Amino acid sequence: MSEQVPILDIRRFDQQDPAARAGFVRDLNTAYREFGFVGITRHEIPEGLIADAYRAVKAFFALPEATKVAYEVPGSGGARGYTRFGVEHAKDSPAVDLKEFWHVGREHVAGAAWTKDIPPNLWPTEIAGFREATWSLYQALESLGNRVLRAVALGLGLSEGYFADKTDHGNSILRPIHYPPIRQGLGDPESVRSGQHEDINLITLLIGSGEPGLQVLSLKGEWIPVTTIPETIVVNVGDMLQRLTNNVLRSTTHRVVNPPPPFSEVPRYSIPFFLHPNSEFLIKSLETCVTADNPEHYPEPITANDYLTQRLIEIGLLPGKS
């Protein structure tokens, strides 16, 4: 029997029962050490909220190309607004991904010092309710992500609120993605919907689609399909959390492959939320994660903003330094 990504009920963590909470923390920590991925159920994000967001983003991606590209922000690395088809690629791969996407980020807070590092959002005026639907989903996923990080902190032997003041103004992103139907001449010969990669951020929360394609690379070197389970949100470790924990928690390689017919003949949509630490946060290996059996892998600390910039260059969203 092939391996499967663990599915966890987050109500166990929310309960007052110490044994239930400890069990959830233990199971989450084990899953992140072995898989880097879990499915979270009973998360309390309403299906109606998710459905409203999907309706809004599908309507946007159905707009004429000329209308969509008007929402591109040149030189921004796709930080906000629209990124057209054939721009992003996986690190170390010249083949572009077969997708287009939109970015919704944190809204400005008047007078906040960190606001200068956060670009303003763009909102397509052609789609009624787009702002309300996507921003509501952003807030709901951020809240769920913070709950997961509280359990992560406990699993690492930290205080439950360790991440609270390190993510309260992070440059987190909601990324609705559209993968068009696969057809001859689409992208490069080696292109797939999303080439194998690891996420940049702390954790990613993925509202998937019903179509196949998402696969996770196991410790055994096998590709495990991640089947979307109704009312389940997949939450995986990103490179920043792997770096912070000195590789104790795994940022697992994953991809979205081109599916067989009839799924290849229809579009695929997904909405990941990338939870980032605050831009000034210094990513430095936790002392408790550096041991004789696991020596320091990252001797040079780096700020979250510098690391993000470095990675955006690697995947083609920002130009490299000349």
| Residue 198 belongs to a domain | yes
| Residue 142 belongs to a domain | yes
pLDDT digits (tens, 9 = 90+) for 233-255: 999 999 999 999 999 999 988 78
Q: What is the dihedral of CA 258, 262, 266, 271, to 10 degrees?
A: -60
Mean pLDDT for the chain?
Answer: 87
| Residue 322 belongs to a domain | no
Report the candidate in 254, 22, 232, 251 with the shortest Cα–Cα distance to residue 144: 232
| Residue 2 belongs to a domain | no
| Residue 1 belongs to a domain | no
| Residue 320 belongs to a domain | no
| Residue 321 belongs to a domain | no
pLDDT digits (tens, 9 = 90+) for 83-103: 988 776 666 666 677 889 999
Residue 148: domain span: 7-314
| Residue 100 belongs to a domain | yes
* CATH code of the domain containing 42: 2.60.120.330
Say how many domains are in the chain.
1
Rounded to whole angstroms, the Cα distance separating 102 from 198 reads 19
Rounded to whole angstroms, the Cα distance separating 192 from 1 reads 27
- What pTM was estimated for this model as a whole? 0.91
